Structure 1
Amino acid sequence: MLKTQNTPQHLRELNSLFSFIARRHDASRVFDDFLTLVICCLARQTQEEWYLDTIRKYDEDEINNLTKMFATLLIIYEKSLRDEDWIDPLGEYYEELAGNYKKQGFGQFFTPKGICDMMAQFTIKENDFGNHINDCAAGSGRTLLAANKICKGNYYIAQDVDHVCVKMCCINMAIHGLKGEVHHMNTLQNNKPWNSYIINHDWHKTKTPFIYKTKADN
């Protein structure tokens, strides 16, 4: 359990809800399951079986907390989007958990926001839209979010070997309104994806986040 005083202010409510569930379950499993449930909620009833298979291990109080976690997450995103900036609350919280649960399956650390913004400024031009932009080791998708802040209207492609990272990337892209695809694959070996996700394919019509999973879990 993360101590409240050691958790960034904007993540404290999320941490309190998460900690309640992690008392009885493995913390890394809870985080992964939460990502799955968020994706299922954004999948517009196309992943009901995956949703039910994930949720069944939790009791009523834990399910209520998972629901509140999703609402809290959306509020965090909304504030940043209102300010016309990007945010990665899932990756940020994951790093907090990695430092606290060192033996429970956490192990990713991501490029700091300032460096992502600087890299995007070096490589992306304003009003140069209609391009395909790829990150072959995307993590939680931070470099793509930074690129989209400079110029919207591009198509983003992300790959990562870690399915937890892939899920975070999908959610970040969907809620920030990026259009593209995310592949769970080993880019260095150039293998076929184990799972693929289409992000916001109808954003121009609906302006509603949508994640479509094109392959079943192995």
Structure 2
Amino acid sequence: MATTQDIVQKLWNLCNVLRDDGITYHQYVTELTYLLFLKMVKETDKEIQIPEGYRWDDLKEKDGVEQLDFYRIMLVRLGSEGSDRVQAIFANATTTLRQPKNLQKLVQSINDIDWYSAREEGLGNLYEGLLEKNANEKKSGAGQYFTPRVLIQTMVNLVQPKAGELIQDPAAGTGGFLLVADKYIKDQTDDLFDLSEAQQNFQRQKAFSGVELVPDTHKLALMNMALHDIEGPIVSGDTLSPTGSRLGKVDVILTNPPFGTKKGGGKPSRDDFTFPTSNKQLAFLQHIYRALKPGGRAAVVLPDNVLFEDNTGQDIREDLMDKCNLHTILRLPTGIFYAHGVKTNVLFFSRGKTDKGNTKKVWVYDLRTNMPSFGKRTPLTREHFKEFEDAFGDDPTGKSKRSDQREDGRFRCFSRKEIKARGDNLDISWLQDESNGNGEALPKPDVLAAEILDQLRIAMEEIEELSEMLGNGNEL
């Protein structure tokens, strides 16, 4: 019996066939999304979603130029007919395949998969495996959309989403956070069988929501959610536009916003932010803590610059610590994302019942200093997070009894007064790198280059904002 891993490898090997057709890895995964969806709805007896005459068998029975021509027509028809989910997946769909033999090879190979084994292990797991393979392939550039699943699992375990809660990812990517949260809830409810029929319908149709900016990635997310039997709305759009302000209040937010500045260097186009900024992470952070209901919980991946950036950055951190209890910061190791030089953290916070003075102290866990640089040779595993999860405790709002490990330990507590004295700078480190007894060792060249570029980017943003102020006739 073939395992999911075997099937994923077989599908991934097919991309080698398409190199002569000039197809990139990301285009290949998008192409596979269309074909796999057609085959999977057939395997799960859900072809009623697809108009007659444009189903898997209709494509499979053709060959050569006729098959490729039919496939092109098929993609257009499915973008305007069938269920809402089908139309969303195939919206503006086109094929990058140019040679009929390559389409025939893909169709035949997908048809020959051991679908009995795939169904037994879960079709969603098969597709997740394919997305992970794509993210781990540097040439694809897809790692920016794919947060390591072991990190997502830790974040979900600590935030503890519950059945009946509204759960959102405003930068959904391929849907990883929402899917892990869904599995966590299903594990707590005997695969939803402990819930009433109305509660089960809520979990499938309304509990999970998200927004994804990149159209191709949005299609991957829709496919991923469909294969896990989740129908919640995943919107194609920009959370930093009025789309984000219409999302409504939620109980839980789990997310990893995109790195960098707003496309084109401008500020977010939504008008409900107190502190306008072109820094996407700072803008997303505002969305997140403002979108939480009182008592709502969030875990969000953010780069170091969010913790120390002056001016607007400081204003937003102060606002965050007023409106929310920012109880825990996890300093992540380097090398776990596509951009290896980027240093990142996870911020855990809960929205207060009032908007003032909610953060009394912040606990910082340093999982970066004296840790390996992770990558293919040193993979990140669940075991690497065990000590942090133990130190965090069982309370999802950070109220478990904790122990300050002082200067030699990884977990330390800082009062709000101490942080205020630092200018609300949350980029806090205290451990010395053991590779150099005189202090922290010089970062690796790629890390150093990334830090320099990050500082230059921040400086350019401030210059642009200053120029904009002067252009509008404002005095300094």
Aligned partner (choices 25, 30, 33) of residue 32 of structure 1: 30
Alignment: residue pair count: 178
Kindly report which structure 2 residues correspond to 1:147-158, keeping only aligned pairs within 5 A, or say none.
147-152=181-186, 153=200, 154=203, 155-158=207-210
C-alpha spacing 1:35/1:86, structure 2 compared with 1 (3 Å): closer
- Tell me the residue number matched to 1:123: 159
Give the structure, 1 or 2, with the largest relative contact order (CA under 8 Å, sep 6 or more): 1
**C-alpha distance in 2, partners of 1:130/1:34?**
34
Tell me the equivalent position of 2:8.
Answer: 11
1:134 maps onto 2:168 in alignment: yes
Paired letter, 2:172: A
Residue of structure 1 aligned with 2:133, choices 85, 93, 103: 93
Distance 1:189 1:59 in 2: 40
Whole-angstrom CA distance in 2 between matches of 1:60 and 1:130 = 49
Which structure 1 residue ranges, 5 or more long, are not aligned? 1-7, 193-218
RMSD of the TM alignment (CA)? 3.6
1:63 maps onto 2:99 in alignment: no
- Following superposition of structure 1 onto structure 2, how do residues 38-117 of structure 1 map, counting pairs within 5 Å? 38-39=36-37, 42=41, 43-45=49-51, 48-50=74-76, 54-55=94-95, 57-68=97-108, 70=110, 72=113, 78=119, 80-81=121-122, 88-97=128-137, 99-101=138-140, 106=142, 108-117=144-153
Counterpart contact for 2:21–2:98, Cα < 8 Å: no
Gaps of 5+ in 2: 42-48, 55-73, 79-92, 187-199, 245-476
CA contact (8 A) 1:140 1:165 kept: yes
Greater CA deviation, 86-95 or 182-191? Answer: 86-95
* Sequence identity (%): 19
1:17 is matched by which residue type in structure 2?
A: L
Q: Report the CA distance between 1:129 and its aligned residue.
A: 2.1
| Residue 37 of structure 1: how far off its partner (Å) | 4.0
Distance in 1, Cα, partners of 2:221 & 2:117: 16
CA contact under 8 A between 1:39 and 1:167: conserved in structure 2?
no
CA distance in 1, matches of 2:225, 2:243: 23
* CA distance in 1: counterparts of 2:98 and 2:77, whole angstroms: 12
User: 1:161 and 2:213 equivalent?
Assistant: yes
How far apart are residue 173 of structure 1 and its match?
A: 0.9
What does residue 207 of structure 1 align with? Answer: none
Tell me if structure 1 keeps the 8 A contact 2:174–2:220.
yes
Q: In the superposition, relative to structure 1, how do residues 120 and 161 fare at CA in structure 2: closer, same or farther (>3 Å)?
A: same
> Against the structure 1 CA distance between its residues 19 and 74, is the aligned structure 2 distance closer, same or farther, given a 3 Å change threshold?
farther
Q: Distance in 2 between matches of 1:145 and 1:120?
A: 10
Residue of structure 1 in register with 2:298 after alignment: none
Check 1:140–1:12 CA distance in 2 against 1; reply closer, same or farther (3 A cut): same
Shift in CA distance, 45/37, structure 1 to aligned 2, threshold 3 Å: farther
> 1 CA distance for matches of 2:94 and 2:213?
21
Normalised to the residue count of structure 2, the TM-score between the two structures is 0.32
Confirm or deny: 8 A CA contact 2:23 2:96 kept in the other structure: no
Distance 2:75 2:6 in 1: 35
Amino acid at match of 2:130: L
- Tell me the residue number matched to 1:190: 242
Give distance in 1, aligned partners of 2:29 and 2:126.
21
CA distance in 2 between partners of 1:76 and 1:23 (Å): 31
Alpha-carbon shift at residue 149 of structure 1 (Å): 0.7
Partner secondary structure for residue 169 of structure 1: helix
Amino acid across the alignment from 2:32 = F
What amino acid is the match of 1:67?
V
Larger Rg: 2
